[in-house]
Amino acid sequence: MSQFPDTARASEYGAGSRDYFKFEKGDNRLRVLALAQDPVATHFISKGERAVCIGVSRGCKYHGENAPKGDDGKPKKPSVKYPAYVVDRKTNDIRLVYLPYSVVTALGDLKKDADWSFEELPMPYDVTVKYDPDASGTDMYKVVPSPKSAPITSEIRASLETMKSIDEVADAQRDKAAAETEHAGEIDLGDESEPYHGQLG
């Protein structure tokens, strides 16, 4: 059991309302077991080059004037995703996935809905994330709750307990990026010096 994250805290990582994640086109049926309290954000520095955001308060340099710019000269929003453990209903296996910010806010809306409210995670029902890569903005992902959800098996619950907590997974990514940032600041790496190339997933 754990708490649903406070998505207002995502602003710390530069979250906007349009963050995309490549789900399979069509229906993706999931049961959300655990969600990280804070998202993992990725700055797009240039083509093929990304950096994991360590948060504004920890000194992430890719904000404000230093935010990476797109071809149009405008600052590019980071991709903000919540690490999550889910049951993939196709296989009934636990998967680590990075849920787009828009999907997590939709789950938050369900949490507040009179008919679908829930207190803690795992969620008490499945959701189908309908992914349409041809749609734009918030229409790209639609979250549909399922009233006919199979229970979470005792095997799933048992294996979830043996796994590293989802917050540890998220913290480890930020700590790794922070350590490499500090390292780069202290030591002159000369021509070997390269920006951090953190990859999610």
Interacting residue ranges for Zn ion, rule: CB under 5 A? 53, 60, 62
CA distance 138 to 102: 7
Looking at the Cβ atoms of 31 and 174, the one nearer to Zn ion is 174
Provide the strand spans (E) within 54-171: 79-88, 93-100, 120-121, 127-131, 141-145
Q: How far is the CB of 52 from Zn ion (least distance, A)?
A: 8
Q: Which is nearer to Zn ion, 77 or 130 (CB)?
A: 77
Question: Could you tell me which of 136, 134, 62, 148 has the C-alpha nearest to residue 102?
Answer: 136
First-to-final CA distance of the chain: 24
44 or 116: CB nearest Zn ion? 44
Shortest separation between residue 122's beta carbon and Zn ion, angstroms:
30
CA distance 70 to 79: 14
Residue 40 or 152 with smaller CB distance to Zn ion? 40
Q: Is 35 exposed, middle or buried (0-12, 13-18, 19+ CB in 10 A)?
A: buried
Shortest reach from residue 14's CB to Zn ion, in Å: 6
Q: Tell the smallest beta-carbon distance from residue 6 to Zn ion (Å).
A: 19
Structure tokens at 118: 């829930």
Nearest distance in Å: CB 76, Zn ion: 11
168, two tokens: 């540890």
Nearer of residues 31 and 43 to Zn ion, judged by Cβ: 43
Round the CA-based radius of gyration of the chain to a whole number and report it: 18
